[in-house]
Amino acid sequence: MEYRTGSIGRVLTIRFDDGDDFLEGLKEIVLKEKIESSWFQILGGVRHAGVVTGPKSPVMPPDPVWCEVDGAREVVGTGSVYMDGDEPRIHLHAAMGHHGETLTACVRKESRVYLILEVLLFELQGIDATRPWFDKGGFNQLSFS
């Protein structure tokens, strides 16, 4: 285990609208605002997303189980953004519900909003961290300098 201490910088309130690509839009904002490290919450609806529901078995590197989420789902989630060079790397886990059934997953690609998605993003200051590729694990791992 490793950790660092820091403080909250700017707080951004963001609204994504029906059909917006949430992950790509969040990356655009992070780059535009020059945010190096952040934590965020999401609340709203998802129309489509490529998600991972876990590994096939607990080995490293994991063999992910992919699932396509289609149709309107209520969503609540939390995530972080750290840079890998010039690329923002988003790690988002969310619960997505539809008619009483809930899927909890890591949202990875093609995330389209249904109606509205509200985001509260907290910029983290004083934490020298990145998310470079971790060969042994087969994923981008949070790393401290």
Q: What is the CATH number of the domain that holds 114?
A: 3.30.1330.80
CA angle 128, 129, 133 (to 5 degrees): 150
The mean pLDDT values, 10 residues at a time, for the chain of 145 residues are 97 98 98 98 98 96 96 97 98 97 97 98 97 94 95
pLDDT at residue number 14: 98
pLDDT at residue number 121: 98
pLDDT at residue number 110: 94
Number of domains in the chain: 1
Which residues does 15 contact at the CB level (< 8 Å), separation at least 6?
Answer: 116, 117, 118, 119
Q: What is the pLDDT of residues 71-110, one digit of tens each?
A: 999 999 999 999 999 999 999 999 999 999 999 999 999 9
Summary mean pLDDT of the chain: 97
Does a structural domain hold residue 134? Answer: no
Domain range spanning residue 118? 8-127
